[in-house]
């Protein structure tokens, strides 16, 4: 039998919510766990358990499966759907010897299952393990938050210094024509160009990081043609500077989709800006809006005139900070965050974002969204 939960549990009593319609079972489990420095919160029904959680979020839940009224399975689903409670480990307790019930419990959000009458050593071992795993996850979240805050501070400071360098380089470049020789003027031009590109990279990194930490969507009925048209307009000037033409193909009617307007704008901005970045001068970018009324889906396809995406790159295309073989054709910044965020936003809107198999050349991204007429 374990003698102590963990160093984490010795420093702070972890709270365990014990839910069972039999008070004797709650007392039995509670008495055992209190001996090992756990704080116990009792509940004798699923409804009461939800009230206990609303008042205080526990570190772990021991939940009976078969209870009158709200079953343990339904209580688990409601707990997992409650904001702030998604990561609470739930261990099911039940005398029922039904493998299908075990599977259903795990599919509803449970992390483990202990049969009654339980073995004390087994129950303690399972509890200790999942408490320790939760502590590790919590610590990793804190470390990730600290890292992101530190990187954000550094990036903001770097942006301020780069802005000053950019202004100085541009002023020097404007005055260099009359007083410097050709070689010196080229060096000044290189300085101005490098600081501009580096500042653009830092700004893109900050923008993408901000989006990543505030991913929320509120889908509503929108006209997909209108949003694609606005996105194309936003990048026509940048494309024209590279002698790239952006064409929009649309069906000549409204295409109603279910999407979050801001999230959709971010996805289209990323896809179209990437198409412009990776297309050589003189090429063409094509944006096509489609609707499949029979399947209740809508699509936006973005096709560029770049080199396409090799198979080795396709496997890591939607990973965060992925570094791909292809490089922007005019030295534009690329953080490797945009596609991963676009993919997540599409999935949050019950759609998807895929890279189509390579064809005659160029890259083809296809955004699928539910039709706005769906109930």
Nearest to 105 by CA among 148, 72, 152, 128: 72
Residue 258 and residue 289 in contact, taking contact as beta carbons nearer than 8 Å: no
Alpha-carbon distances, residue 100 vs 71, 72, 90, 106, 115 (angstroms)? 15, 14, 18, 10, 14
- Residue 2 confidence (pLDDT): 41
The CATH class for the domain spanning 220-370 reads alpha beta
Nearest to 155 by CA among 100, 220, 206: 206
What's the CA gap between 33 and 36, in Å, rounded? 5
In the structure encoding, which two tokens stand for residue 87, read together?
A: 């990561």
**Nearest 5°: phi and psi at 20?**
-160, 140
- Residue 10 confidence (pLDDT): 45
**Residue 91's beta-bridge partner residues?**
62, 112
What's the CA gap between 280 and 119, in Å, rounded? 68
Q: At what angle do helices 99-107 and 72-80 cross, to 10 degrees?
A: 20
- Residue 375 confidence (pLDDT): 43
Burial annotation 128-143 (CB, 10 A radius, 16+ → b, else e): bbbbbebbeeeeeeee
- Residue 204 confidence (pLDDT): 67
Residues 6+ apart with CB under 8 A from 267: 342, 345, 346, 353, 367
- Residue 248 confidence (pLDDT): 95
CATH 3.40.50.2300 fits 7-140, yes or no: yes
- Residue 8 confidence (pLDDT): 41
**Nearest 5°: phi and psi at 235?**
-115, 5
Tens digit of pLDDT at every position of the chain (375 positions): 444 444 444 457 899 999 999 999 999 999 999 999 999 999 999 999 999 999 999 999 999 998 999 999 999 999 999 988 989 999 998 876 667 887 888 888 999 988 888 888 999 999 999 999 999 988 888 887 777 666 666 666 677 777 777 777 777 777 766 677 778 878 887 787 778 777 777 766 666 665 555 556 788 999 999 999 999 999 898 899 899 999 999 998 999 999 999 889 989 988 998 899 888 899 999 999 999 878 889 999 999 988 788 777 777 888 766 666 666 666 665 655 678 888 988 998 999 999 987 666 688 999 999 998 654
**Residue 365's beta-bridge partner residues?**
302, 355
In the structure encoding, which two tokens stand for residue 188, read together?
A: 């000044």
Query: What tens digit of pLDDT does each residue of 283-336 get?
Result: 999 999 999 878 889 999 999 988 788 777 777 888 766 666 666 666 665 655
Query: What tens digit of pLDDT does each residue of 145-155 get?
Result: 777 666 666 66
Alpha-carbon distances, residue 206 vs 167, 194, 201, 264, 338 (angstroms)? 20, 18, 9, 19, 11
- Residue 324 confidence (pLDDT): 67
């Amino acid at each position: 039998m374990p003698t102590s939960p963990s160093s984490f549990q010795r420093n702070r009593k972890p709270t365990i919510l014990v839910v069972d319609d039999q008070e004797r079972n709650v007392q039995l489990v509670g008495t055992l766990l209190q001996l090992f420095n756990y704080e116990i919160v009792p509940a004798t029904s699923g409804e009461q358990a939800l009230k206990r959680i609303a008042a205080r979020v526990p570190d772990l839940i021991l939940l009976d499966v078969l209870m009158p009224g709200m079953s343990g399975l339904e209580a688990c689903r409601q707990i997992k759907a409650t904001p702030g409670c998604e990561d609470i480990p739930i261990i099911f307790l039940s005398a029922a010897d039904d493998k299908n019930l075990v599977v259903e419990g795990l599919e509803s959000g449970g992390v483990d299952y202990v049969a009654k009458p339980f073995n004390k050593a087994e129950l303690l071992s399972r509890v200790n393990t999942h408490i320790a795993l939760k502590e590790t996850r919590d610590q990793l979240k804190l470390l990730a938050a600290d890292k992101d805050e530190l990187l954000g501070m550094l990036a903001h400071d770097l942006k301020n210094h780069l802005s000053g360098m950019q202004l100085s380089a541009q002023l020097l470049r404007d005055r260099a024509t009359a007083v410097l020789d050709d070689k010196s003027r080229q060096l000044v031009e290189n300085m101005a160009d490098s600081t501009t590109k580096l500042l653009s990279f830092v700004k893109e990194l900050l923008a993408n990081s901000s989006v990543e930490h505030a991913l929320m969507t509120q889908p509503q009925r929108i006209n997909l043609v209108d949003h694609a048209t606005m996105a194309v307009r936003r990048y026509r000037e940048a494309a024209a500077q590279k002698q790239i033409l952006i064409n929009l193909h649309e069906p000549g009617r409204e295409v109603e989709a279910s999407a979050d307007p801001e999230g959709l704008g971010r996805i289209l901005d990323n896809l179209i800006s990437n198409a412009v970045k990776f297309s050589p001068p003189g090429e063409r970018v094509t944006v096509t809006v489609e609707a499949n009324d029979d399947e209740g889906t809508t699509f936006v396809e973005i096709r560029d005139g770049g080199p396409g995406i090799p198979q080795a790159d396709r496997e890591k295309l939607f990973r965060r900070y992925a570094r791909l073989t292809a490089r922007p054709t005019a030295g534009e910044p690329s953080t490797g965050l945009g596609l991963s965020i676009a993919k997540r936003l599409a999935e949050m809107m019950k759609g998807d974002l895929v890279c189509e198999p390579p064809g005659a050349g160029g890259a083809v991204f296809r955004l699928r969204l539910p039709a706005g007429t769906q109930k």
